[in-house]
Structures are given as structure tokens and as C-alpha cells.
């Protein structure tokens, strides 16, 4: 359009000169042509709203929050105005409510359209008022702010796929083109600098245009994982003419109509490897061949295994768990080591049976757990589950599993022995009452920290989280999850946070307790420490040694704890699902005064 206008302008100019038009006539026509040329380049900030979410939790200090929010938004605008990469982050952390913000435009938008899209997003997100987190996603850009650093987060429970409401006539060909193009974009985009790619496919009577984009602050692995989820969310959209997938760290879109210029496409060939998507058949055949070979190997192994004498399979009941490390002990050796499970050697009772001290022939002292379950299928499954779990979890607070034994209707586990007497010799006060049962009772999902439940990440702060839940149970006199109660109180941790926000902490205390038997301030102190322990951010939680100091101190001081920014569709308090352990969590820190001893 621009080149045509330019040629027309040159032709008319020569005509004007040849015809000796007046100078005023020339300027009138020239300005008219220029205006027509600019009108031909249509501005399109693509402000079609796809998703808006506001946290249901408000900030604690509105004035501090608004000052921080305005500062970050001003910083974002300034960066977009002076930068060509269509991306900006900003943060302001004055006062009790810090704000972290990010904006990213699609790379095909020009600067003015990017700024216009951002302006629309800022107006929209301010409708969330005093929420401590919010996000707005348009076709052309996205804007998000939180009370914590979320920049490396890739997924949120609210990730969605949005299909169009118009279908394409040649649905089969269109669907094939969509699948090919999106799979190529998902594979190539994480390898491209800037995490953005736009491409199109033509053929079969249908055209497809698509883009993939990740936030520039995520890792290559995070980008890949996010786009795979996005692809899954919209792969069923065809034959709908459009599909969009939005998430915290990425955006994927296709359409049968062009929404970016032809000169803005990306050559994906070099990022897909030799042959690109044409290599899929070879990959498929390779996978099929590998599966067949694996099946043949499995059949051969089963035949060999069934022919083994039963005596050679002593203790080998673990089946597919494929444990590495634990050995199979002989039953007679364990009988001898424990003096036939003499009561004098009994150390205690666990979730599934009694534990005995034993001395092996080589002089090594062990702890033998004699499981109080039969040889039923369920019993075998429980046994396998416990062996598999303990063998694959490594934590300095867990004793190591040395081996097992299955003989004469007995299921036995052999652990390394915890020396230096009993743990209760080294604990004191309320630390005894809570830590001791915590380590000797089986752990349940209600006590599991979000970083372990979601990502499988273990640290000493997992103990702190579980400790906090146990404290809340003791104070309230109820279980962490109880569906028999009223909906608002069914989930103890969520209810405790709500009471804390409403300034009604004492409503959490067990009604059967005599109010004259305890000091209100001391109870509040214990509850607040428990809430510090249950913060989703690993960094924000105190260590157990710090908890002991806090409990024993005459006075203590903490920053105001804040619970997780987002909760999922089931209304349970959850941690972040990204690769970061610090996302979607509070930034409360802990300090201590008047410590009476460590």
C-alpha cells in the first residue's frame, strides 16, 4: 500500500509540475496524499480481552500499596517508551506491600500499538482495586503484578484454552495444518533468542497463522514446559478458526486469518533440527521400534522370572519398584540380631508395627521394623509403597532404609539405627510435644509443604511447614481437613488465615478449653508463629531452631505474614506451580528479640 501511494505521489507531482499548478495547489494535494498513506497503515493494538484475574486477598496497607503500584506502572511505561524489545519489569518494595510487575507485548506490534495495549491493560487491571495480585491478558499484550517476585513463574491453576466460535469448511486439512504449525512452534520457540516466533502454513485450501511467545524472564526449560501445556489446551480447537492458550509464562495462538505482517515471520528450520517436522515419521518409527523391543524384553524377563526357584526370590517382593541400594536380609539373621524380637530390644511402635534394635553378625546395629500386616495383596502393596517411598526420599531428618525381608508370613524393614539414645532426650518444652509426634507418626497430605507436594522438592523448611499445621491442629482441637464441618471451616489452614486477616484469631481456639487457663496474648503468639511456618515461600519460613527461640522468647517480632496470592479452583491454599520455589508466596521475614537461649 505504501509503495503504491508513493508511486502515485511521484506521478501526480510530475503532472503538477508539467501543468504548472500553483504552489498552494501542490501543497494541498501533497498533504492529502501523505494523509492517505498514513491512513493506509492501520493501527491495531489488539486489545481483545482474553483473561483477567484478581487475587481475592487484599493488601494490608492501601496507601503503601498504591504508591508502589503507581511507581511500578510508571517504570513499565517508561521502559516501553524508550525500549524496542516490547518487554519490561519493575518493582517497588517500600512499606508492607511490595509490588512486582511485568508487561510484555507481542513482538509484531509496533511501539505505539504496544503502548496503547499496555494503557488498556493498566486501566483494566486497576479495576482489581486493592487486590494484592492481578493479571490481564489481551491478544496484543499481557500485564501482571504480585506482592512477590513471580518473574520466573510459568504456569498457574487458571491456565486456559480459548477456541473460536467460527468453523472452517475444510476442517480436516485445516486441523492438520494447525497441528503441524503449532508443534513446530512449541519445539522451536524455546531455542530462539527472545522466546518469540511467528509463522504460517498454506496448502490444502486453508491457511494457518500462528505465534508462540514466552516471558523473557523464564528459563528455556520453563518455556518448553509452558508451551507444551498451552498446546494441550488448544490442540482440540480445530476445526474452529481460532485458538488461544494463555498462561503465566507463555502465550500460543493460531488463526485462519493473518494477524501479523508477512515480513514478521520466523524461519523455524534451523531451530527444529535437520528436516524439521518432516522428521516426525522417523521419530515415530523409532519410538514404535523401541516399544516393541522393550515389550519383547519384558516378556523374556517374565518367562525367566517365573522359572526361578522360589527360594531364589527370597525377599524379592518389590516387583516394579526397582529399588537400588536396599538388600534382602535373611530372616534367620534378623531373628538372631533381635534375639527373636525380644521385648527388651523393642524401641517403639510405628504406623505399621513395632521397631526392634538388632545387632548383625558384622557388629552393625540396626533398627528392624516388624510390620503388623498379613500377606494379602493389599498388605503387599502397602509394604512395597513404604519401601519405595523411603528409598527414594533423601532428607537429613529421615533415617536410611538398609533393606527388607519377606519370610514366613513376616514383612520386615531394616533401617540404620539412630544412636545417642532417644530423640526425646534432646527435646524440651512444647518442642517435645510437637516435634516428637511429627517424626514418629506417618505424614499425611494435609501436612505436606506445597514445594514438596507439587515439585517434590525437600528441604528443612518442609519440616517447618508441617510443624505449623500441627500447631494449628493442637490450638484448634481439630484435624487439618474435616469435610464434616461447615464449608468455610473445613480446611484448617485456609480458615486460620482468614481469621488472622479479620483480626479474629481467638475464634480458632478450641472451645472446650477454659479461657481462664491460658493467656490470650501467648495463644495469639503461638498461632502467628504457626502461620509464619505455613507460608508458601520457603525463604519466608523460619527454621525450626528459630521457631524454638521464638516460642521461648519473652517477646518476639515478626513482619506481617501474608498467605499465598492465588488459590486453585478447589479453594485450597496452594503454592506456586512453577519451577521456582518462591513464587506465589508471601515475602514476610522473621526477626527475633529478647531471646532467652538457643
| Per-residue pLDDT tens digits for 422-453 | 444 444 444 444 444 444 334 445 666 676 66
DSSP 3-state assignment of 415?
strand
Q: Which CATH class is domain 319-416?
A: alpha beta
Helices and strands of the chain, counted as H and E runs: 16, 18
Q: What is the pLDDT of residue 466?
A: 84
Contact 388, 325 (CB under 8 A): no
Q: Please tell me what DSSP assigns to residue 58.
A: B
Q: What is the pTM of this model?
A: 0.44
Q: Please, which residues have CB within 8 angstroms of residue 388's CB and are 6 or more apart in sequence?
A: 318, 321, 323
Bridge partners (DSSP) listed for residue 275: none
152 half-sphere exposure, CB direction, 13 A CA radius: 9
Between 279 and 490, where is the model more confident?
A: 490
Q: What is the pLDDT of residue 312?
A: 42
Between 301 and 130, where is the model more confident?
A: 130
Average pLDDT of 123-148?
Answer: 94
Between 318 and 246, where is the model more confident?
A: 246
pLDDT over 50 (residue 218): yes
Distance CA 179, CA 252 (A): 12
Closest among 84, 108, 279, 86 to 210, alpha carbons compared:
108
Task: Tell how strand 365-371 and strand 401-407 pair up.
Answer: unpaired
DSSP 3-state assignment of 357?
strand
> Which CATH code of 3.40.640.10, 1.10.510.10, 1.10.40.50, 3.40.50.11440 fits the domain covering 423-591?
1.10.510.10
Average pLDDT of 101-118?
Answer: 94
Between 347 and 581, where is the model more confident?
A: 347
Q: What is the pLDDT of residue 192?
A: 94
Closest among 284, 11, 18, 53 to 160, alpha carbons compared:
53
Residues tagged in the binding site annotation: 370
Q: Highest-confidence range of 221-230, 378-387, 493-502, 506-515, by mean pLDDT?
A: 221-230
pLDDT over 60 (residue 489): yes
Closest among 171, 222, 213 to 194, alpha carbons compared:
213
User: Alpha-carbon dihedral of residues 41, 45, 46, 52, nearest 10 degrees?
Assistant: 180
Distance CA 108, CA 385 (A): 52
Contact 228, 144 (CB under 8 A): no
DSSP 3-state assignment of 9?
helix
Q: What is the pLDDT of residue 435?
A: 46
Q: What is the pLDDT of residue 313?
A: 43
Bridge partners (DSSP) listed for residue 141: 105
Q: Highest-confidence range of 205-219, 477-491, 534-548, by mean pLDDT?
A: 205-219
pLDDT band at 577 (very low <50, low <70, confident <90, very high): very low
Percent of the chain with pLDDT over 70: 67
Percent of the chain with pLDDT over 90: 30
Average pLDDT of 239-268?
Answer: 92
Residues tagged in the binding site annotation for ATP: 370
Long-range CB contact pairs, 306-311, < 8 A, 24+: none
Distance CA 353, CA 363 (A): 25
pLDDT tens digits, one per residue of 493-526: 889 988 988 889 899 998 888 888 888 888 888 8
DSSP 3-state assignment of 41?
coil
Q: What is the pLDDT of residue 54?
A: 92
Q: What is the pLDDT of residue 384?
A: 62
Between 154 and 393, where is the model more confident?
A: 154
Q: What is the pLDDT of residue 19?
A: 41
pLDDT band at 398 (very low <50, low <70, confident <90, very high): low
- Domain ranges, ordered by start, for the chain: 2-38, 49-136, 160-273, 282-307, 319-416, 423-591
Distance CA 132, CA 57 (A): 6
- Among 281-285, 463-467, 526-530, the minimum mean pLDDT is found in 281-285
> Which CATH code of 3.40.50.300, 3.30.430.20, 3.60.21.10, 3.40.50.1000 fits the domain covering 49-136?
3.30.430.20
Q: Which three cell numbers stand for residue 316?
A: 524379592
Bridge partners (DSSP) listed for residue 77: none
> Which CATH code of 3.40.1440.10, 3.40.30.10, 3.80.30.20, 3.30.430.20 fits the domain covering 160-273?
3.30.430.20
315 half-sphere exposure, CB direction, 13 A CA radius: 16
Q: What is the pLDDT of residue 303?
A: 81
pLDDT over 70 (residue 274): no
How much is the mean pLDDT over the chain? 76
Average pLDDT of 226-252?
Answer: 93
pLDDT band at 395 (very low <50, low <70, confident <90, very high): low
Contact 50, 141 (CB under 8 A): no
Q: What is the pLDDT of residue 101?
A: 97
Average pLDDT of 1-29?
Answer: 43
Long-range CB contact pairs, 3-9, < 8 A, 24+: 5/33, 5/36, 5/37, 5/40, 6/37, 8/33, 9/33, 9/34, 9/37
Q: Please, which residues have CB within 8 angstroms of residue 443's CB and are 6 or more apart in sequence?
A: 466
Average pLDDT of 63-72?
Answer: 94
Average pLDDT of 221-248?
Answer: 93
Closest among 233, 187, 181 to 202, alpha carbons compared:
181
Contact 230, 251 (CB under 8 A): yes
pLDDT over 90 (residue 157): no
Contact 240, 163 (CB under 8 A): yes
Q: What is the pLDDT of residue 307?
A: 64
- The reply to whether 160-273 shares the fold of 49-136 is yes
Helix (H) or strand (E) holding 358: strand 353-359
pLDDT over 70 (residue 328): yes
pLDDT over 60 (residue 294): yes
Amino acid at each position: 500500500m505504501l509503495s503504491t501511494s508513493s508511486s502515485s505521489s511521484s506521478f501526480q507531482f510530475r503532472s503538477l509540475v508539467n501543468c504548472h499548478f500553483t504552489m498552494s495547489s501542490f501543497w494541498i494535494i501533497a498533504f492529502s496524499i501523505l494523509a492517505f498513506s498514513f491512513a493506509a497503515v492501520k493501527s491495531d493494538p489488539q486489545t481483545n480481552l482474553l483473561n483477567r484475574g484478581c487475587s481475592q486477598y487484599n493488601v494490608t496497607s492501601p496507601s503503601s500499596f498504591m504508591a508502589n503500584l503507581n511507581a511500578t506502572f510508571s517504570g513499565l511505561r517508561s521502559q516501553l517508551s524508550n525500549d524496542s524489545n516490547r518487554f519490561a519489569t519493575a518493582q517497588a518494595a517500600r512499606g508492607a506491600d511490595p509490588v512486582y510487575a511485568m508487561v510484555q507485548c507481542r513482538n509484531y506490534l509496533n511501539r505505539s500499538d504496544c503502548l496503547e495495549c499496555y494503557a488498556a491493560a493498566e486501566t483494566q487491571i486497576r479495576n482489581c482495586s486493592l487486590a494484592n495480585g492481578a493479571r490481564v491478558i489481551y491478544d496484543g499484550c499481557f500485564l501482571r503484578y504480585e506482592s512477590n517476585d513471580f518473574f520466573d513463574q510459568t504456569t498457574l491453576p487458571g491456565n486456559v484454552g480459548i477456541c473460536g466460535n467460527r468453523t472452517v469448511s475444510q476442517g480436516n486439512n485445516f486441523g492438520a495444518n494447525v497441528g503441524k504449525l503449532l508443534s513446530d512452534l512449541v519445539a522451536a520457540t524455546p531455542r530462539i533468542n527472545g522466546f518469540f516466533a511467528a509463522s504460517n502454513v498454506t496448502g490444502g485450501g486453508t491457511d494457518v497463522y500462528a505465534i508462540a511467545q514466552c516471558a523473557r524472564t523464564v528459563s528455556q526449560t520453563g518455556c518448553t514446559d509452558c508451551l507444551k501445556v498451552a498446546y494441550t489446551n488448544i490442540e482440540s480447537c480445530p476445526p474452529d478458526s481460532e485458538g488461544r492458550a494463555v498462561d503465566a509464562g507463555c502465550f500460543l495462538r493460531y488463526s485462519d486469518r493473518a494477524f501479523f505482517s508477512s515480513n514478521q515471520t520466523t524461519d523455524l528450520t534451523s531451530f527444529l533440527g535437520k528436516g524439521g517436522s518432516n522428521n516426525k515419521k522417523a521419530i515415530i518409527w523409532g519410538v514404535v521400534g523401541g516399544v516393541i523391543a522393550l515389550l519383547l524384553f519384558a516378556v523374556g524377563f517374565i518367562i525367566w522370572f517365573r522359572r526361578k526357584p522360589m527360594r531364589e526370590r527370597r525377599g524379592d517382593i518389590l516387583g516394579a519398584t526397582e529399588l537400588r541400594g536396599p538388600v534382602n536380609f535373611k530372616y534367620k539373621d534378623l531373628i538372631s540380631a533381635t534375639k527373636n524380637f525380644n521385648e527388651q530390644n523393642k524401641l517403639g511402635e510405628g504406623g505399621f508395627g513395632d521397631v526392634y534394635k538388632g545387632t548383625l553378625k558384622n557388629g552393625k546395629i540396626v533398627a528392624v521394623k516388624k510390620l503388623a500386616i498379613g500377606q494379602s495383596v493389599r498388605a503387599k502393596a502397602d509394604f512395597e509403597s513404604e519401601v519405595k517411598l523411603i528409598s527414594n526420599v533423601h532428607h537429613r531428618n529421615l533415617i536410611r532404609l538398609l533393606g527388607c525381608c519377606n519370610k514366613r508370613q513376616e514383612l520386615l524393614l531394616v533401617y540404620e539405627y539412630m544412636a545417642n539414645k532417644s530423640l526425646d532426650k534432646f527435646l524440651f518444652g512444647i518442642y517435645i510435644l510437637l516435634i516428637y509426634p511429627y517424626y514418629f507418626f506417618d505424614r499425611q497430605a494435609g501436612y505436606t509443604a506445597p514445594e514438596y507436594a507439587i515439585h517434590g522438592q525437600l528441604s528443612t523448611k518442609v519440616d517447618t511447614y508441617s510443624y505449623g499445621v500441627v500447631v494449628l491442629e493442637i490450638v484448634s482441637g481439630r484435624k487439618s481437613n474435616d469435610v464434616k464441618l461447615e464449608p468455610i471451616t473445613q480446611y484448617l489452614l485456609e480458615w486460620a488465615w482468614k481469621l488472622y486477616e479479620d483480626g479474629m484469631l481467638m475464634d480458632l481456639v478450641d472451645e472446650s478449653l477454659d479461657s481462664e487457663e491460658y493467656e490470650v496474648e501467648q495463644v495469639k503468639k503461638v498461632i502467628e508463629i504457626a502461620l509464619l511456618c505455613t507460608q508458601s515461600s520457603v525463604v519466608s519460613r523460619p527454621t525450626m531452631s528459630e521457631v524454638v527461640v521464638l516460642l521461648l522468647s519473652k517477646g518476639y517480632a515478626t513482619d506481617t505474614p501474608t498467605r499465598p496470592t492465588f488459590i486453585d479452583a478447589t479453594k485450597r491454599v496452594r503454592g506456586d506451580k512453577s519451577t521456582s520455589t518462591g513464587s506465589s508466596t508471601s515475602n514476610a521475614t522473621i526477626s527475633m528479640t529478647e531471646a532467652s537461649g538457643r
